[in-house]
């Protein structure tokens, strides 16, 4: 499956728009201080893991619509009370040829 932040894919033509798809990560609670480099690396790893999960869920949702690409992807990271964060990816599922 092709994933892109752009609204078109060079060398491909969008044949059909299937709909908007999204994927979210689970809430992840952080219980550490950001004062050390080690803790910053742990936080970076958690965000990377959450982004990957959100992208996988979005791809699965696009596959259910029989899409072979997702265009116009945006990524949003939200925090709640400094202890939780959420990753949301959204895009338009399409069929390209």
Nearest CA among 21, 29, 31 for reference residue 79: 29
Domain residue spans of the chain? 2-96
**10 Å Cβ neighbour count for 57?**
19
Query: pLDDT at position 11, please?
Result: 97
Q: In this predicted model, what pLDDT tens digit does every residue of 21-70 receive, in sequence order?
A: 999 997 666 555 556 666 677 778 888 889 999 999 999 999 999 999 99
On whether the CB atoms of residues 69 and 1 are closer than 8 A, the answer is yes
Q: Which fold has domain 2-96?
A: Translation Initiation Factor IF3 (3.30.110)
Instruction: Give how far Cα 37 sits from Cα of 1, 13, 28, 77, Å.
Output: 36, 46, 20, 21
């Amino acid at each position: 499956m092709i994933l892109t932040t752009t609204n078109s894919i060079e060398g491909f033509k969008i044949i059909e728009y299937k709909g908007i798809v999204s994927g979210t990560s689970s809430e992840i609670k952080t219980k550490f201080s950001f004062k050390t480099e080690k803790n910053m690396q742990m936080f970076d790893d958690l965000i990377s893991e959450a982004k990957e999960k959100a992208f996988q869920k979005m791809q699965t949702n696009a596959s259910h619509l029989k899409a072979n690409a997702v265009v116009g992807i945006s990524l949003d990271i939200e925090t709640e009370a400094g202890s939780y964060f959420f990753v949301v990816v959204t895009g338009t599922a399409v069929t390209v040829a």
